[in-house]
Amino acid sequence: MTDEEFKLTIRLAVGLGVPLVLSPFAVLGLRRLFGLFITEGVELFSTVLLENEDAKTLGSLMAKLNVAVMLLAWIILFTCHCLDVRHLVVMGIALAGVMGAILITVLTIKSNLPIEGRALWMVSLLAFTGGNLPIIVIVGVLLAVFSRILLG
């Protein structure tokens, strides 16, 4: 194995393995945050009464689904980066990942709460932005750190 192949193997192992190992911890950390923002969104934008246990359960489900979508997007984006795919394609994949997570958030809230129309979208977008804010910040920092350390 040459030195260049070894560096590529380490880069792939770290870039793909670390997020996979850390994703369950992200779900554990974000489930309460999603529940909090769902509760606040329902109180602000609808007339539905939401119990704390229901909010925690829904927040846990949303954390699992959003982390899964973000993990899938990360794996695809990191692989594209390692294969030197054009930036326009990478940007399209990143936007598709974010839009997929937003759509999953809306569909999850729609299927679990009796909210429709504008209130559905407002609650969903508040829950999405509030719940995913730590993921978005952490992924940005990790991208900057890993690109500096691993890619030179």
| 55-92 pLDDT per residue, tens | 899 999 999 999 899 889 888 888 888 888 888 888 89
pLDDT, residue 152, reads: 60
pLDDT, residue 125, reads: 92
**CB distance 102 to 8 below 8 Å:** no
> Position of tokens 């670390």?
18
pLDDT, residue 151, reads: 65
Percent residues over pLDDT 90 in the chain: 38
Rounded Cα distance between 137 and 25, Å, is: 16
Sign of the torsion formed by the C-alpha atoms of 100, 88, 6 and 10: negative
- The tokens of 133 are what? 């804010």
pLDDT, residue 79, reads: 84
pLDDT, residue 18, reads: 85
Q: Which residues of the chain have pLDDT under 50?
A: none
**Tally of structural domains, the chain:** 1
Domain around 105: 3-150
pLDDT, residue 146, reads: 72
pLDDT, residue 37, reads: 92
Full-model pTM: 0.80
- The tokens of 24 are what? 């369950």
